[in-house]
Amino acid sequence: MRTALISAIENENIDLIRLLLEEGIEVKDALLHAISEEYVEGVETLLQWEEEHHKPGTPYSWEAVNQATSTFTTDITPLILAAHKNNYEILKILLDRGATLPIPHDVRCGCDDCVISSEKDSLRHSQSRINAYKALSSSSLIALSSRDPILTTFELSWELRRLSRMETEFRLEYNDMRKNCQEFSTALLDHTRTSHELEIMLNFNGALGNENWEPGERQTLERLKLAIKYKQKQVVFRLIQ
């Protein structure tokens, strides 16, 4: 049902949004609608209002969605939706408040939750996994949340490759996500401004912490080795060209 608050969000009428909130309108899933519209000011206003009127002991709207009043599917959280939109500003707002995105259970997981979900609706169960991985492969989310974005994209791309072979009916979706990951890691390399920066990137070893490779040291080519291991063809080509 399209409420006055949703209409105000869709029309980006911030004054009306504030008036409706002051009048005590039911917020329901308004935050998700604001994220869907990529209306940053609306998202900030809704979160600020909630902060001022939050009841101790109840989850915030950015933590959990009330499924009884939400018009979105049960697996879509604010962080997942913002990641689907790849909206850097909204993702940062949510992450700064503590929003998280757990890694989905393995496709062969036999825990009670997965078994019940799969038996109830196997298509919805698979779709929720796709939605989670689509969010995890958001370049903005990776940039904001990963200490080693290139390694994250390598590992995620490898996992998406595995999933595309296990859930063949969704192969196209997983391959599209994998392609996005590879394009993002290649784009990161393209941001190197000098050959020295590229050499540092090429020889970086995350296991050594903050110790960067220095000119004159033996080149270990750690990133190239990883790119080959995870079959990152675009990255390999970029590193050796």
Q: What's the pLDDT at 8? A: 97
Nearest 10 degrees: Cα torsion 235, 236, 237, 241:
110
Return d(Cα 51, Cα 14) in angstroms, integer.
17
Q: What's the pLDDT at 207? A: 63
């990529």: which residue's tokens? 38
Q: What's the pLDDT at 23? A: 95
Q: Is the pTM of the predicted complex or chain greater than 0.95?
A: no
Q: What's the pLDDT at 208? A: 54
Return d(Cα 239, Cα 221) in angstroms, integer.
10
Q: Which two tokens stand for residue 145?
A: 């949340």
Regions of the chain with pLDDT less than 70 = 1, 206-215, 241
Q: What's the pLDDT at 38? A: 98
Q: DSSP string spanning 171-193? A: HHHHHHHHHHHHHHHHHHHHT--
Residues 6+ apart with CB under 8 A from 184: 139, 142, 149, 153
The CA distances from residue 74 to 45, 67, 69, 225, in Å, are: 24, 6, 11, 40
Q: What's the pLDDT at 235? A: 86
Please provide the distance, in angstroms rounded to a whole number, between the alpha carbons at the two ends of the chain.
55
Helical pair 149-166 and 122-136, crossing angle rounded to 10 deg: 160
Return d(Cα 73, Cα 71) in angstroms, integer.
7
Return d(Cα 42, Cα 33) in angstroms, integer.
9
Length of the chain (residues):
241
Cβ 65 vs Cβ 32: under 8 Å: yes
